[in-house]
A and B are shown apart, each in its own frame.
Chain A
Amino acid sequence: MIKKRLVSSIIYKDDSVVQSFNYKTFLPIGSIESSVKNLNRWNADEILILSIERSKKKIGPDFDLLKKIKNLNIETPIIYGGGISNLDDAKKVIALGADRIVVESIIDTNYSQFEEISKNIGKQSIILSMPLSINQDNEIRFFDHKTQKEYEISDNFIKAIKDDLISEILISDYKNQGMMNGFDLRIIKKLNYTNDLILSGGIYKKNDFKKIFRDKRVVASAVGNNLNYGEHRIQKFKSSLKSSYLRKPFYSIHS
């Protein structure tokens, strides 16, 4: 049986790992090398690294960050997102050790290049990022990091899903990102996509995980602040959940 995953998410900004609260307030944590090495040692199911504000600043993917990780002994799958705007970017990111990539801005800015990426590196390696929330009128809103405004989900995003060019959708409940309020389940209730979903934002307590995994489309939860900054938090958390849907926690015997 394919297991549901606890994806450890790292937010990287201005050459430092940061603890993020709503993508508005940031607390520096330390080096990327230490964070990735720890998560690998704690046997995270996948490590998601989001180098934020790359597309907004138009500075492309963070190749320096990826080079740092490439030099480490990591046996955990790495997912990278941030600044990928064409096929060359995607190829370089994969060549520098990422197993999968997250795309968001490119969907609206350069859809044809996104199609090329999917065709060249395979849709199994592509995760579509969608920061969403529900507004006062009970409508789904898409948060654009560049303009810091909310919009309807664009036609291109819907097309990317319908064209079958991605493997999973990373849905960030951005209003609850870095908070401990639980994921707003109304978001996924309103989405009628059948794609596999990775949920992020507000997921903190055991009950939050149990609730999100009740939806069969949810294959993973991306968690940052809760699991990344304490020795063996992943193992302890998995043990406490006692779920057969998760890979059993274990402690590395290899150094």
Chain B
Amino acid sequence: MRKNILIFDYGSGNYSSIEKTLKRFNTNVMVGNSKKFINNSDVIIFPGVGTFPQAMQQMRKNSILKKIKSIVFSGKNILGICLGMQLFTEFSPEIKDTEGLKFIRGKTKKMPFKNHVGWNEVFFKKKSVFECLNGKNFYFQHQYFIETKISAEKGFFKINNKKFIAMIKKRNILGVQFHPEKSQNAGLDFFKLYLENLND
């Protein structure tokens, strides 16, 4: 059955890449942030466009924060990409200190290096749904990263041999720091595996 996928709109506008990529997998793709869209979706994607405070403000402004939280705790599949994953944490210092959605106990922090822009290898665990992508290069473009000690499936990228979270999966919640929609073949394979293995 075709899945209904909602790309959550923070009001930043650029969702065409991710929309076009998802449509290649026989899905119905919606872009919006209304309660109706949230109810009608099988999967909600929080894209990696915009800034942390602006995205949180948009959710508060539309009074949908509670709705999102209840629907996620009820088990709906959500995927956070880059900023989208960072929003799942408790807090971010980006621009100004801002509380997040708190789906993941942990914090968003500024990278201890200049930026992380470009292609880097991602290491997935054995028996992960994404195991076949272990060591593949994905495209990154960020200044902030997430740090958490919760027990969850994690994938990593490395800078100067230091490990950072590239992917975190806990039940229906999946976050990635890289941009699968900009990662060419590896990204397409990632979406394929994700959509084939959604949490029931």
Binding site for B on A (CB under 8 A): 1-5, 40, 43, 45, 70, 73-77, 91, 94-100, 119-120, 122-125, 167-168, 195-196, 219-220, 247-248, 250, 252-254
Contacts and interface: CB of A to CB of B under 8 A. Distances in A.
A75 B16 contact: no
A42 to B, nearest CB: 10
Contacts of A76: 182, 184
A96 B16 CA distance: 8
A236 to B, nearest CB: 17
What range describes how many residues of B lie at the interface? Answer: 35 or more
A122 B115 CA distance: 11
B14, B121, B158, B159: most-surrounded residue (chain A CB, <10 A): B14
A219 B141 CA distance: 14
A196 B114 contact: yes
A122 B51 contact: yes
Contacts of B188: 75, 254
Contacts of B159: 1-2
A2, A40, A94, A124: most-surrounded residue (chain B CB, <10 A): A2
Given A76-B182, A124-B117, A168-B117, 15 more contacts: A2-B120, A3-B137, A43-B185, A74-B20, A75-B21, A75-B187, A77-B179, A77-B182, A100-B141, A123-B143, A196-B115, A196-B117, A219-B118, A247-B137, A248-B137
B119 A2 contact: yes
Contacts of B114: 167, 195-196
27 contacts: A2-B120, A3-B119, A3-B137, A43-B184, A43-B185, A45-B118, A73-B20, A75-B181, A75-B182, A75-B183, A75-B184, A75-B187, A77-B141, A94-B14, A95-B12, A97-B16, A97-B17, A100-B117, A120-B51, A122-B51, A168-B117, A196-B117, A219-B117, A220-B118, A247-B119, A254-B24, A254-B188
A167 B184 contact: no
B184 A124 contact: no
